[in-house]
Amino acid sequence: MQESYKSRIARLYEALPYSCEPEPKSVNRIPSSATSEFLTNKAQGDWAEEVVLKAVNQYSRDFVAVQYGRSDSISAGEEGFAEFYSGYLDELASVGKKPDLLIYRREQLPDTVMLERDDPDTVSRAVAAIEVRSSSFLANRYWDYMRRRTSRAMDECGRIRDQLLEEPFSSLLSQKNPELLKLLQVSGVEAFRDLDFAFRRMSSSADLIALSELLHELKKQIKILQRRDHLSITPKLEDLAGVNRWIQRFGVPHFYLQVFFDKAYLVSFQRILEISADSSLEGNVFSVESDIKNQGKTTIKIDIGVGSEVIGRIDMPEHSSVMKELDRGRLLFHVIFSGGQGYLDESLFCREIEPVD
């Protein structure tokens, strides 16, 4: 008997080696005030969601996107926020984390009023659910920079290796670290990505001082090669429980869509769970980090290369500064975004969101 989508997600979620359940609801956890950075990030997220919504509805002949997740503008520090936040936590505990968008076949477009009431039949008819994440990068510019950085580091490693294999450094290295010398003699430049060696400065002669400087610089360039050099899809660890809970209720295939300022990538929630549970991929395809940009929350950062580039171009939006006055007279200044057309790859998008079962 074929495993259902809900059962498959439940099994993969249980296999995760991390604790994803958030702490029990507590009044002490309710944020007391917003920050300018938080409001800017929220505005960017709202902009990204709007770009995806319009791209799907403008370029897809078969599917239509409908806003579904919370879009409230109330902020911490404003009157009524405590009640709003408490209701949000209750919703997470019962319904789960609502995705930002639901995708329907055009001929089955539901009454959007029913969506607000979480009518199970209406929501469950969706073909896909999409959680939109935004990132403050130009993907193309990032990759160009990383390619240049890697190329420079490779060239430097090759230059330093050639020096180390010449006299007097070759003889000195055979005395001080023969294993490293052997590796340098037989390895190509690409091997530097995986090279590691113990390093201790030496200063009893001019040649040893020079050798130490070369080894120090080699280690520095190797560290550059070993740094994470990919953009990421960024699900928060604490959100996985809520997403799983929502899926178990409605059974709609769930996706994350990471929006940059020039393109966007889609990856299934199923694939996120599979990758996150595979320890052999950690440090290469994904990492688990405390992310300062997400209020210090633990975030799984998955190489964007596992996703599909469903929006291959986004026009840069307009941006401007606005002021928000809180009830007690505190002023917050933050950035808002408008415009920025996204161009959907319709055929790729359709292939990605076709029903899983």
pLDDT of res. 177: 92
Assess whether 32 and 94 both reside in one domain. Answer: yes
Residues 261, 330 share a domain: yes
CA distance 241 to 13: 8
**Are the C-beta atoms of 197 and 180 separated by less than 8 Å?**
yes
Q: What is the pTM of this model?
A: 0.86
- The first and second tokens of residue 283, run together, are 């440090």
Contact criterion met (CB below 8 Å) for 134 and 259: yes
Top-ranked range on mean pLDDT: pick from 94-98, 160-164, 284-288: 160-164
What is the spatial distance between Cα 156 and Cα 150, in angstroms, rounded to a whole number?
A: 10
Query: 78 versus 234: which is more confidently predicted?
Result: 234
| pLDDT tens-digit readout, 240-250 | 999 999 999 99
Query: Which of these three, 196, 226, 256, is where a domain ends?
Result: 226
Both 104 and 17 in a single domain? yes
pLDDT, tens digit, 9 for 90 and up, residues 328-357: 778 889 999 999 999 999 999 999 998 655
Residues 301 and 339 in one domain: yes
Residue 270: CA count within 13 A, CB half-sphere = 18
Does position 259 have pLDDT exceeding 60, yes or no? yes
Assess whether 217 and 89 both reside in one domain.
no
Q: 111 and 236 share a domain? A: yes
pLDDT higher than threshold 90 for residue 326: no
Distance between CA atoms of residues 80 and 92, nearest Å: 19
Looking at the fold, whether 169 and 276 belong to one and the same domain comes out as no
Q: What is the mean pLDDT of residues 87-113?
A: 82
Of the ranges 124-138, 177-191, 287-301, which one carries the lowest mean pLDDT score?
Answer: 287-301
Q: Choose one of 226, 255, 290: the last residue of a domain.
A: 226
283: left (phi over 0), alpha (psi -120 to 50) or beta: left
Calculate the average pLDDT of the chain.
88
Higher pLDDT pick, 271 / 35: 271
The answer to whether residues 132 and 236 belong to one domain is yes
Predicted local distance difference test score (pLDDT) of residue 114: 56
Domain residue limits at 178: 144-226
Query: What is the tally of structural domains in the chain?
Result: 2
65-74: average pLDDT: 79
Same domain, 288 and 325: yes
Q: pLDDT-based confidence at 73, cuts 50/70/90?
A: low
Q: What is the pLDDT of residue 80?
A: 66
Q: Decide which of 199, 226, 253 is a domain's last residue.
A: 226
Do 62 and 14 share a domain, yes or no? yes
For residue 111, what pLDDT is reported? Answer: 61
Predicted local distance difference test score (pLDDT) of residue 149: 95
For residue 27, pLDDT beyond 50: no
153 Cβ contact partners less than 8 Å away, ≥ 6 residues apart: 221, 222, 224, 225
| Residue 173 pLDDT exceeds 80 | yes
Predicted pLDDT of residue 291: 63
Model confidence at 26, pLDDT cuts 50, 70, 90, reads very low
Looking at the fold, whether 222 and 320 belong to one and the same domain comes out as no
60-87: average pLDDT: 77
Residues 175 and 283 in one domain: no
Residues 38-47, mean pLDDT to the nearest whole number: 91
Poorest-pLDDT segment among 60-69, 70-79, 167-176, 236-245: 70-79
Highest mean pLDDT among 9-23, 260-274, 278-292 belongs to 260-274
Average pLDDT over residues 151-155: 95
